[in-house]
């Protein structure tokens, strides 16, 4: 810590969910142990081996991989890229209106991330993840049902309004839960010594799954 251990402990205890002093001390000790091991071990090859062989790491790594897979499998990128096409199919034909709705879509998505940041310490990760996946599933079911029932009604303002609301709701549900928390969970559940290696494997899964 280069002589700043006390300041680091106080900072840890005063931010976020106010980490108890004992937990802050444990985390600081873990950091020092990892730094000491890295200076002795050199290139981190031991940590890479532990990701695959250390007892319990397989389960943690499986959770990281599943979170990253399902984050991309939700196909949020396709919704962002092809959202205007979905809205056009629902009857929104004005290019100006489509552009304006795309701006609304982006603002709603960014605002939801801020809401997630504010609620993380109070509500915790799991309820937000469950609410996120439930909201996304419900949004897609409603959108699919609307298109199945009223697919030919391109000039129906009500169909267009429902489609807009559902697409925005899907983006908000993604951004308030599985969007940011796939990364947050991955960093939190991985042990500090294996965090870099495990997170890189999770990121690889995320990128491989990406298919707009």
- Asked if 94 and 141 sit in the same domain, the reply is yes
- Asked if 84 and 23 sit in the same domain, the reply is no
210 occurs within a structural domain: no
- Asked if 123 and 20 sit in the same domain, the reply is no
- Asked if 146 and 109 sit in the same domain, the reply is yes
Question: Which two three-digit tokens encode residue 83?
Answer: 């959202």
Q: What is the pLDDT of residue 97?
A: 78
- Total domain count for the chain? 2
Range 152-167 average pLDDT: 75
Whether pTM exceeds 0.95? no
- Asked if 77 and 157 sit in the same domain, the reply is yes
- Asked if 95 and 171 sit in the same domain, the reply is yes
Mean pLDDT, the chain, rounded, equals: 77
- Asked if 94 and 169 sit in the same domain, the reply is yes
- Residues 15-48: tens digit of each pLDDT: 655 566 676 677 777 777 766 666 555 555 556 6
Domain at 122, CATH number: 1.20.1250.20
- Asked if 30 and 74 sit in the same domain, the reply is no
22 occurs within a structural domain: yes
Q: What is the pLDDT of residue 3?
A: 60
48-57 contacts, C-beta under 8 A, 24 or more apart: 48/197, 50/193, 50/194, 51/194, 51/197, 51/198, 51/201, 54/194, 57/191, 57/194, 57/198
97 occurs within a structural domain: yes
- Asked if 78 and 178 sit in the same domain, the reply is yes
127 occurs within a structural domain: yes
148 occurs within a structural domain: yes
- Residues 163-211: tens digit of each pLDDT: 888 888 998 999 998 888 888 888 888 877 777 788 888 888 888 886 6
Is pLDDT at 152 greater than 80 in this prediction?
no
Angle formed by the axes of helices 57-73 and 76-89, nearest 10°: 20
CA distance 64 to 4: 32
Question: Which two three-digit tokens encode residue 45?
Answer: 């090859």
* CB count in 10 Å sphere of residue 19: 17
Q: What is the pLDDT of residue 58?
A: 81
- Residues 94-145: tens digit of each pLDDT: 778 777 888 888 888 888 888 888 887 777 788 888 899 999 999 989 988 8
Q: Which residues of 88-105 are buried (b: 16+ CB within 10 A; e: fewer)?
A: bebbbeeeeeeeebeeeb
* Residue showing tokens 């799954």: 209
27 occurs within a structural domain: yes
Question: Which two three-digit tokens encode residue 56?
Answer: 């319990």
90 occurs within a structural domain: yes
Residues of the domain holding 173: 69-183
50 occurs within a structural domain: no
CA distance 90 to 5: 58
Sign of CA dihedral 86, 91, 93, 99: negative
- Write out the H or E segment, with its range, that includes residue 18: none
- Asked if 85 and 160 sit in the same domain, the reply is yes
CA distance 50 to 48: 5
H helices of 124-156, where? 125-150
- Asked if 27 and 97 sit in the same domain, the reply is no
- Asked if 37 and 77 sit in the same domain, the reply is no
């Amino acid at each position: 810590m280069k002589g700043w251990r006390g300041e680091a402990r106080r900072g840890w205890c005063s931010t976020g969910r106010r980490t108890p002093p004992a937990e802050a001390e444990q985390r600081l000790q873990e950091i020092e142990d990892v730094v000491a091991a890295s200076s002795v071990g050199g290139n981190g090859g031991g940590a890479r081996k532990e990701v695959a062989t250390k007892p319990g790491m397989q389960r943690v790594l499986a959770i990281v991989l599943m979170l990253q897979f399902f984050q991309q499998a939700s196909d949020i990128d396709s919704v962002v890229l092809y959202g205007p096409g979905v809205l056009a199919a629902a009857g929104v034909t004005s290019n100006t209106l489509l552009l304006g709705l795309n701006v609304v879509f982006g603002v709603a998505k960014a605002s939801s991330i801020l809401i997630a940041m504010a609620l993380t310490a109070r509500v915790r990760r799991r309820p937000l993840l469950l609410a996120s996946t439930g909201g996304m599933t419900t949004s897609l079911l409603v959108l699919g049902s609307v298109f199945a029932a009223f697919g030919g009604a391109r000039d129906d303002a009500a169909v267009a309004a429902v489609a807009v609301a559902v697409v925005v709701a899907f983006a908000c549900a993604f951004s308030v839960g599985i969007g940011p928390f796939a990364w947050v969970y991955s960093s939190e559940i991985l042990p500090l010594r294996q965090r870099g290696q495990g997170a890189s494997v999770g990121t690889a899964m995320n990128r491989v799954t990406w298919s707009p």
